[in-house]
Amino acid sequence: MLLDSARLKERITPLFEENFSRFGELGAAVSVWQHGESLLDLHGGFRDMRRDLPWIDDTIVLFWSATKGFGSACLLHVLQERGITLARKVAEFWPEFAQAGKSEITLGQLLSHQAGLCALDERVDVLDHVGVMGALERQAPLWPPGTAHGYHARTFGFLLDELVRRLAGKPIGEYWREHFADPMALDIWIGLPESEHFRVATMYAAKAGKTPTPAQFYRDLMTPATLVRRTFTSPGGLHSVSGINAPAIRAGSFVSFGGIGSASALAKFYDMLANAGEFNGRQHFSAETIAQMTTTLASGVDRVFQIPTAFSAGFMQGPANAQRPIFGPSPRAFGHPGAGGSHAFADPENGISFAYVMNQMEQSLLPNEKSLRLVDAIYSAA
């Protein structure tokens, strides 16, 4: 399918405006690319609750777990450059990881949330990088690796980051800038410089009053000792949205949830992935690596989310027979949403990429109506 820019804008603009007038959006932006070309960029609303600071072209915002897609891309790129397959064992490159029955965990299992390391038995703070690494090394899997999958909400970024450090000799934030952000001129940061803080939209927690779904997940999230509660509280710390807004925290390299950038940059990166790993004449990823992103490695009921999910190597996909596709109709599409409503994906079948970012969160596990309405409209605009 080939999208027409004018028709796309005609369909998306009123829906985007309705996100503010009907769905309570504060500030947001959406971007759609196809085959290396930006077809649509819209923004609106405000960067702050007082509505003093309008959301403008260069506004950037935290996009939470959508960061995991960039961390995964960095690790996959490292593996590609060194000829390392997903069947290799994590402990080959990180020997201390082999403790507590983890010697046979493969890179593919780790990248697809099958390693059973979504929660830590030891209490350790998210700001204590060395402490978190030690806890992960000593942690026994919470299920036999490879037999099930469960979303690694906080630990995932630490696992990716340590492997990149071991293989490439630098943290993911540096690797991202060197291999993707700078070469592609992407306004996305994993560790925001002080010079960029002035243009960041403030993130706001979900408002009370709406019933969160799925209900059982949110009940378990508030119940001590449940797997859900343990997963989202370990490593501990930085649980308040106000804490995430602190400049010192924005400057940190939190690969699971700390990426900050613009919708257009998000969509631009995924456009490269949607078009065989090539952008502006430069081949970033091989066909084999793109296949790792599009091939489902884990699918079924997620032990943490408690609903059907699917994962390729480091990216989320639409589970089979989903009532509402979150990445469009193509089964090869992949991406990663973020808490509260941010969303980004690549559709290699049609060469399409999409990104939506916002600063007023909602309580929902996966992308909510504000972005999914726009995704639906893209595929009806051809």
Distance CA(76)–CA(303), nearest Å, equals 25
Distance CA(8)–CA(99), nearest Å, equals 53
The CATH number assigned to the domain with range 5-379 reads 3.40.710.10
Contacts of 14 (CB under 8 A, 6+ apart): none
Cis before 214 (ω within 30): yes
Domain edges within the chain: 5-379
pLDDT, tens digit, 9 for 90 and up, residues 49-98 = 999 999 999 999 999 999 999 999 999 999 999 999 999 999 999 999 99
Dihedral class, residue 89 (left if φ above 0, else alpha if ψ from -120 to 50, else beta)? beta
DSSP state of 46: B
DSSP-based three-state secondary structure for 32? strand
pLDDT recorded at residue 57: 96
pLDDT, tens digit, 9 for 90 and up, residues 336-371 = 999 999 999 999 999 999 999 999 999 887 899 999
Distance CA(185)–CA(170), nearest Å, equals 20
**282 strand-pairing partners:** 279
Distances in whole angstroms, Cα of residue 89 to Cα of each of 72, 108, 289: 17, 9, 18
Determine the longest span between alpha carbons in the chain, in angstroms: 57
pLDDT recorded at residue 380: 86
DSSP per-residue letters across 226-277: SHHHHHHTSSB---SHHHHTSHHHHTS--TTT--EE-HHHHHHHHHHHHTTT
pLDDT recorded at residue 370: 95
Distance CA(291)–CA(246), nearest Å, equals 38
Distances in whole angstroms, Cα of residue 70 to Cα of each of 92, 266, 372: 23, 9, 21
Other Cβ atoms less than 10 A from the Cβ of 91: the count is: 17
Contact 163, 133 (CB under 8 A): no
HEC readout, 275-319:
CCCEECCEECCCHHHHHHHHCCCEEEECCCCCCEEEECCCCEECC
**347 strand-pairing partners:** 352
Q: Which residues of the chain have pLDDT under 70?
A: 381-382
pLDDT recorded at residue 242: 84
